[in-house]
Structures are given as C-alpha cells and as structure tokens.
Structure 1
Amino acid sequence: MQEKLTTAEKRVPLTRVPAGKKVKVTELPMGGGSRGRLAGMGIVPGVEIKLILAHPLKGPIVVELDGNTVAIGHNLARRIMVDEQ
C-alpha cells in the first residue's frame, strides 16, 4: 500500500529539482538580505516557478516565473525550499 507523503516530505531544495519541472516555493529559511534579493526577483513563498536550467558543478540555477527568466546562484538556490507538484 502506498502512503501519501506529507507536505514536509515533498519539500526539497530547489537544487534537487530536475529541469523542466514546475514547483511552488514554500519556504525561504535565510536572512533578510538574501530574502529581500529573492523578493526583488519575485521569488516569495507561494509563487510557482519552473526550473529551466541547472548548470553543472554548482553553477547558477535558471528559473522562469511570470514569463521572466531569472538566474540564482547555487548557494542561494539550495536554501529555497519548494514543493514538487
């Protein structure tokens, strides 16, 4: 019998999402400066984003939201928690 995953179990860092997948930002567990930078790009809890490209060797992560493409550094992207849909 397959068990339903809880919300916490579905939550993963953005860096673990495969390219082409749409996800919902659920949590930004970081300081105010980083959170403010992300908010300036439109990345806030509740927004849906699509991972376009994850560069190898911990390079930037490229996402699309509201028709715009945004690049996020790997260290910042790994702290963005998302819910896989």
Structure 2
Amino acid sequence: MPNRDFHVLDWKLPAYLFPEDANLSDIHIPSEAGGEIEIGSQDIHWNKGNGIAGYDINRYATIKDLSKNKLINLNLAEWCNSIQGIVRAATN
C-alpha cells in the first residue's frame, strides 16, 4: 500500500452531519486492536441519548491485513444479525 501520512485522530466527524443537539466525543484510541496500525472510535449522542451513532476508523499496513480483518467483521456482522432475528422472533 502507498505510504499514508495521516493518523486516525485526524478524522473526527464534523458536527454538521448530525442534529443540532448532538454531542460528539473526540476520537479515542481503544486499548486493544486487531492487527491495525491504528484504530480510533468516536461516539455521537443526540435527543437526550435516544439517538446514538458510533464511528470507527482503522488504519492497516497492508491490503492483506485489511482484507483479513474485513472478512472477520463481515462474519461477525452476519452473526449479530442472526442473533437479532432470533431475539425479535422470541419477543413477538
């Protein structure tokens, strides 16, 4: 991959993307990562906590590292969707 001269802390989402009462955290660096060079996360809350969004940014050394992690995340997302479907079915 081409050398990139940026850091995850440079990529905070702008407030204008969210409702006027939104509270945007700074990007924070989690204590653990999964193969990334850097990883950052930002939380956004609005409507007295009834609206919430999360933003994650990951920086990888190689396309191979990115591809491997993306596949893991896709499998995890499928698993979460399956669990949500089971919970919905059980509560209806």
TM-score normalised to structure 1 length: 0.22
Q: Which has the higher contact order (CA 8 A, sep 6+)?
A: 1
Q: Which has the higher strand share?
A: 1
Structure number with greater Rg is 2
TM-score normalised to structure 2 length: 0.21
Q: Which has the higher helix share?
A: 2
